[in-house]
Chain A
Amino acid sequence: MECYIGIDLGSTTTKAVVMDEDYNVLGRGITNSRSNYDIAAGVAKHEALIDTRFMLFRNAMKNVAALGDKYEIFMDELERNFRLEQYLEQLIDLDETCTKASENTRYTEWGSDLTEALAGVFKRVALEAPDLFAPGAQRKSDFFRDIAGSQYSTISEEVAKEADTPFDVLLNIYDRSIIDVENRIYTETTNQNLMRALDRTLVNLPDLAPVADEVRTEVQKVLGIDLEETYVIGTGYGRARLPFSKDHIRSEILCHGLGAHIMYNDTRTVLDIGGQDTKAIQVDKDGIVESFQMNDRCAAGCGRYLGYIADEMNVGLHELGPIAMESTRKVRINSTCTVFAGAELRDRLSLGENRSDILAGLHRAIILRAMSILSRSGGVHDQFTFTGGVANNEAAVSALRELIKENYGDVTINIDPDSIYTGALGGSTFARRAVEGIPTEAVA
């Protein structure tokens, strides 16, 4: 089947969206950005195609009447098992890469102890893998680098103690190897992983034995569908070096404008706060960009700033919003300068100010910067769509709602939980249009 793909290479994550010829979104994929743009784009695309495949599974399984009320459980089990298989596959690769790296002369003094320690670490990491993907298990991240890294680090610390091998040597080997592993895309083994996942699923859900053959046939059928990459459009911050030809690149402004329009047809103003920049875009009724403004050279008030704050406070990025929401008192923070953020924070904490009040002030300060960029681009018009990573932060959203109301009155504010894919969505729409021969006209 024809697939139209949009890829958005951001400074922190790379996103892909797959669309069919009727402009329906089939799948989404995301990965952490890395210095090799080709790989980041490739992995995101691959993930989106897997997601597409799952979408097709879901549709197919609905036809298996015998599944009945087991449908949800089955699909959930299948997806988790597939992620587990994917994880195990990369783990094996990581194991081999680490082992190879340990043979480097710089580690000779640790000799066979090291080899044994490594083997011990990986054995335990693999053993713990199923738990990570068990029903209801919480993962801090879905990126291999994060999950494997955290597992490896915890386990190797224990192993190091027992095995008399220095922990930092083990970490060092990991650091050298993860980059190589991350720079490989496992496209060819996907179907095998899926079949293995299916086997696991059927083992785990013995109730399904009577319909196993029927399920297996449907899965095989879906696997037989060729997902043809009909047209790909790339966009994003790293656009200057995107791994696409010129015809296959659209500016991120155009893609974000269109993506927001596709998500919410009545959007007129779009605000996107990403890791390194903030964009305010005005679009017309067809999603065509009327004007745009981005933060100037000073990256104050971008998502990255929250990252610094989180580091400074020693909490996770996703914890900032909830802490800030506990604030009871307004604190005014004037500096959104990333350089001074840490100092101001320490200064205020030392003066005895409350942590959540300070954080609420910081969130407001970021949104104030965004408000200025919005004002610069021509203000806020109904409807207003907020996208990007910071749109998932409740404290930022709350400050934004307040300030929009203060300055522009009652405006409908749209926030899609998948807003991180806005640029990629616009890209995939452009891809579909390119083949249809529509340069810019909207379809919706």
Chain B
Amino acid sequence: MSVQKIVDRCQALYDDLDFNAVKEWKAKEEGRKAIGYMPVYVPREIIHAAGMLPVGVLGGGDQLEVIHGDAYYQSYICRIPRSTIELGVTGRLDCVDGMLFPSICDVIRNLSGMWKLLFKDKYVRYFDAPQTYDDNIGGKFYKQEMQELIEGLEELGGRKITDEDLNNSIAVYNENRNVIDELYAYRSKAPWKALTSEIYLLLRAGMVLPVEEHTELLREYLSAIEKEDRPVRDNCRVVLNGTFCEQPPLGLVKSIEMAGCYIVDDDFMLVTRWLQEDVPTTGDPVQNLADAFLHQSAETAAKYVDTEEAKGNFIVDSVKKYAAEGVVFAAPSFCDPALLDQPMLHTALNNNNIPFTAFQYAENSGQMQPIREQAGTFADSIKLWSA
């Protein structure tokens, strides 16, 4: 498949607010079930092991007209829960048999209870994650959390989930993570080829496609892009941060690129890259997933950093790892985690003489002009500095 074809396919999946890909998957076999999950991380391996399709629910983007969803929220609350409710009450999420709400912030946490009140016939679970990382304390709690999820899905699916199932699923996701790592490495090497607007769409496709198919699609892209001839532009290299929950409109990603910035690292759909090493595929799978979560997981504003020295290191490391020249903070308006965290990340960057710029967006932002201008000015200033 050509790059264009792959991207078109992903774009179609992205544009489809009715989750037809999920419906098609379910229709292929009697009794298939799908489980929706919100950002930032759930162990999709468990859903997969239950024979179900994990479906990333990331709000309604800039094409969904939100009417009823707005009725549930005050103007000072971010957009993603409104559009998610809109998707729910308009029946677009009827194809998911359950919803997982990971611990990320109070808004998503409360949304779990709202879902219970609004959709009484669905499996709804708030998926708590420990904020303490001692194996014996947080690890124990987390294992039990996963155990409860396993039991819940066993009941829903009417079948046992064995260790073997789990280990197989872990292997499948290890593979997916490896390809995504390759993709990120490739983009860093040739950002003029692997455009972030395409990478974004590729990752979005992974929210609704079966993981095996997604992995295959990513491989095809990697081989197709290699052959693609695209012009190198005089862009600066930036890390994008703050987009881990409510999604930026695709126009925003494009605007940043058009303004002269190559995005070489980002925090889109962290669920795909949360576990940073391969999870062992033998032994106790729940233990292995817990170990990976506690000791090898990505960092984001929704996660507690237990020492002052470690605060903000991840973003400095990312700048170094990807040879970036600066950081673009794009946070959703009213996003507590991102906005409360940002001043501390600014400090870390300042301490390391890394330039940054910051703006806010909403998933349905229509105006890109100010963002283009700001990102453009930032890119120019970086070039000026490095010259």
Contact = CB atoms under 8 A, between A and B. Distances in A.
Is any CB of A less than 8 Å from a CB of B in the complex? Answer: yes
B71 A407 contact: no
B244 to A, nearest CB: 22
Contact of A375 (B62, B71, B74, B366): B71
Contacts of A368: 65-67, 70
A347 B67 contact: no
B74 A296 contact: yes
A341 B197 CA distance: 27
B75 interface: yes
Contacts of A334: 62, 362, 364-366
B74 A403 contact: no
Contacts of A335: 365-367
Contact of B369 (A297, A347, A374, A375): A347
A332 B364 CA distance: 10
Given A296-B75, A297-B75, A298-B75, A372 B67 contact: yes
Contact of A376 (B65, B71, B362, B368): B71
A343 interface: yes
A424 to B, nearest CB: 29
B68 interface: yes
A332 B362 CA distance: 15
Contacts of A344: 366-367
B20 interface: no
Nearest to A333: B366
A364 to B, nearest CB: 9
Nearest to B72: A376
Contacts of A297: 75
A403 B367 contact: no
Nearest to B75: A298
Nearest to B89: A375
B381 interface: no
B67 A375 contact: yes
Nearest to A296: B75
A368 B83 CA distance: 14
Nearest to B79: A334
A333 B62 CA distance: 10
A365 to B, nearest CB: 10
Contacts of B365: 334-335
B347 interface: no
Given A332-B63, A334-B62, A368-B65, A347 B367 contact: yes
A298 B70 CA distance: 13
Contacts of A332: 62-63, 65, 366
Contacts of B62: 332, 334
A246 to B, nearest CB: 31
Interface string B346-387: 000000000000000010111111100000000000000000
Interface string A349-380: 01000000000000000001101111110000
Interface size class of B (residues with CB under 8 A): 20 to 34
A386 B197 CA distance: 44
A98 interface: no
Given A296-B74, A300-B75, A332-B63, A372 B68 contact: yes
Q: Which of B63, B71, B364, B370 has the most CB of A within 10 A?
A: B71
Nearest to B370: A343
Interface string B42-76: 00000000000000000000110111111110110
Contacts of A300: 75
B279 to A, nearest CB: 40
A302 to B, nearest CB: 13
B75 to A, nearest CB: 4
A343 B367 contact: yes
A403 B65 CA distance: 11
Given A335-B366, A347-B369, A372 B71 contact: yes
A340 B367 contact: yes
Contacts of B74: 296
Contacts of B63: 332
B71 A373 contact: yes
A130 B169 CA distance: 88
Given A296-B74, A297-B75, A300-B75, A407 B367 contact: no
A150 to B, nearest CB: 35
A374 B70 CA distance: 10
Contacts of B66: 368, 372
Nearest to B249: A334
Contacts of B67: 368, 371-372, 375, 403, 407
Contacts of A375: 67-68, 70-71
A350 B367 CA distance: 12
Nearest to A361: B366
Nearest to A367: B67
A192 to B, nearest CB: 53
Contacts of A373: 71
Contacts of A298: 75
A369 B67 CA distance: 7
Interface of B: 62-63, 65-72, 74-75, 362, 364-370
A-B pairs with lowest CB-CB distance, top 10: A372-B70, A375-B71, A376-B71, A298-B75, A334-B364, A334-B366, A371-B67, A347-B369, A372-B71, A375-B68
Interface of A: 296-298, 300, 332-335, 340, 343-344, 347, 350, 368-369, 371-376, 403, 407
17 contacts: A296-B74, A296-B75, A297-B75, A298-B75, A334-B364, A334-B366, A335-B366, A335-B367, A347-B368, A372-B66, A372-B70, A372-B71, A373-B71, A374-B71, A375-B67, A376-B72, A403-B67
